[in-house]
Homo-oligomer: A and B are copies of this chain.
Amino acid sequence: MLFTVNEIADLLQGELIGNGKLGINEFCAIQEAVPGSITFLANARYEKYLQTTRASAVIVQQNFKPTHDIPASLILVKDPYASFVQLLKHHQTTNSPLKKGVELPSHLGEHVEVGINVYRGAFSYIGNHVTLGNGVQIYPHSYLGDHVTVGQNTIIYSGVKIYPGTQIGNDCIIHAGAVIGSDGFGFLPRGDGSYEKIPHIGKVILEDAIEIGANTTIDRATLGHTHLKKGTKIDNLVQVAHNVEIGTHTVVSALTGLAGSAKIGNHCILGGQVGVTGHTAMGDHTVVSGQSGVTKSHPKGHVTLMGMPAMERKKYIKMYVIFKRLHDIYSKSL
């Protein structure tokens, strides 16, 4: 047993209605809940499941007034989803203690500074002049080139490849297979139509509390920095090209590509498979619908963009409504 219902109600500072002595050993979605589990009701759409759920306990909104008898114990809180997430975090922290220590064989270069409570997994490779803060976790098969710095409590999962000189802040999570600091895609055309590689001597800076998804790639700058600011979250298989800047607390979904020197503001949300043209600027609080192509600057932000080339979502939808009727309209006009 992980918890009693009473313990959970205490942890969440919630009001208990029903049996507090029941044991909870699983977390479920309401429609898939099993006896012995706890779930939550955050969305009125799911209220119908309350009568039939097999969960032993449900976290609900504090103003919730059940119209029927509910078989489960209820825990009333201000924000059921946030409380459920809090419970999950508590569970994860107590049941999945961080890894520590050094597994062998692993490679440690020269002039490396290693904090306390660091995990270095088997077959991990730490180059020369690397700095690892306290509590850093380096999983197996990860590679940190020379002069990489990693802040406190950052987790680098298996098979991450970090090129030399990259700077990573505190409390970041880098998922498996991500590549950070590879050369930007820049070539100088020669007279004969062949290409000369432009050396990329800049680097990548990730500030604190950044999450990078699995197999995402972030190129180093030609000169200067590719720079992701505090709290930004990048999904899987995203391409961030050389010299891109992303502001604070911005969210970029999977398979999106940001071309060279694109500037993305703070608090933006980019859907999946979005493309952003190089050397454009996107203001704060911009939202971009999935599969859109942002081909020019929208520096004022506070707008939702859609389409390829992307325009204001409202405008796009007005046209799309006509587009969908094009055949009918044209047939009628003949």
- Which A residues contact B (CB, under 8 angstroms)? 27-29, 32, 81-82, 85, 88-89, 91-92, 103, 105, 107, 121-123, 125, 139-141, 143, 145, 157-159, 161, 163, 173, 175-177, 179, 182-183, 185, 187-188, 193-199, 201, 209, 211, 213-215, 217, 219, 223-224, 231, 233, 235-237, 239, 241, 248-249, 251, 253-255, 257, 259, 266-267, 272-273, 275, 277, 290-291, 293, 295, 308-309, 311, 315, 318-324, 326-327, 329-330, 333
Give Cα distance in the complex from A122 to B254, angstroms: 32
Check A177 against B179 for contact (C-beta < 8 Å): yes
Q: Find chain B residues with CB under 8 A from A201 CB.
A: 27, 88, 91-92
A179's nearest neighbour on chain B, judged by CB, is: B214
- Of B188, B239, B273, B322, which one neighbours A327 at CB under 8 angstroms? B322
Give Cα distance in the complex from A239 to B238, angstroms: 10
- Of B219, B249, B323, which one neighbours A193 at CB under 8 angstroms? B249
Closest 4 CB pairs of A and B: A161-B176, A179-B214, A239-B254, A143-B158
A32's nearest neighbour on chain B, judged by CB, is: B224
Check B161 against A251 for contact (C-beta < 8 Å): no
A143's nearest neighbour on chain B, judged by CB, is: B158
Q: Find chain B residues with CB under 8 A from A176 CB.
A: 143, 161, 163, 179, 182
What would be 7 A-B contacts, judged by CB atoms less than 8 Å apart? A27-B201, A85-B188, A105-B105, A141-B159, A217-B237, A272-B275, A323-B326
Q: Find chain B residues with CB under 8 A from A197 CB.
A: 173, 211
Give Cα distance in the complex from A143 to B209, angstroms: 25
Check A195 against B140 for contact (C-beta < 8 Å): no
- Of B103, B223, B235, which one neighbours A29 at CB under 8 angstroms? B223
Check A194 against B224 for contact (C-beta < 8 Å): no
Check B239 against A199 for contact (C-beta < 8 Å): no
Check A223 against B175 for contact (C-beta < 8 Å): no
Q: Output the residue of A85, A143, A293 with the most chain B CB within 10 A.
A: A143
Give Cα distance in the complex from A123 to B104, angstroms: 11
A256's nearest neighbour on chain B, judged by CB, is: B255
- Of B81, B185, B254, which one neighbours A236 at CB under 8 angstroms? B185
Check B185 against A215 for contact (C-beta < 8 Å): no
Give Cα distance in the complex from A28 to B223, angstroms: 6
A252's nearest neighbour on chain B, judged by CB, is: B185
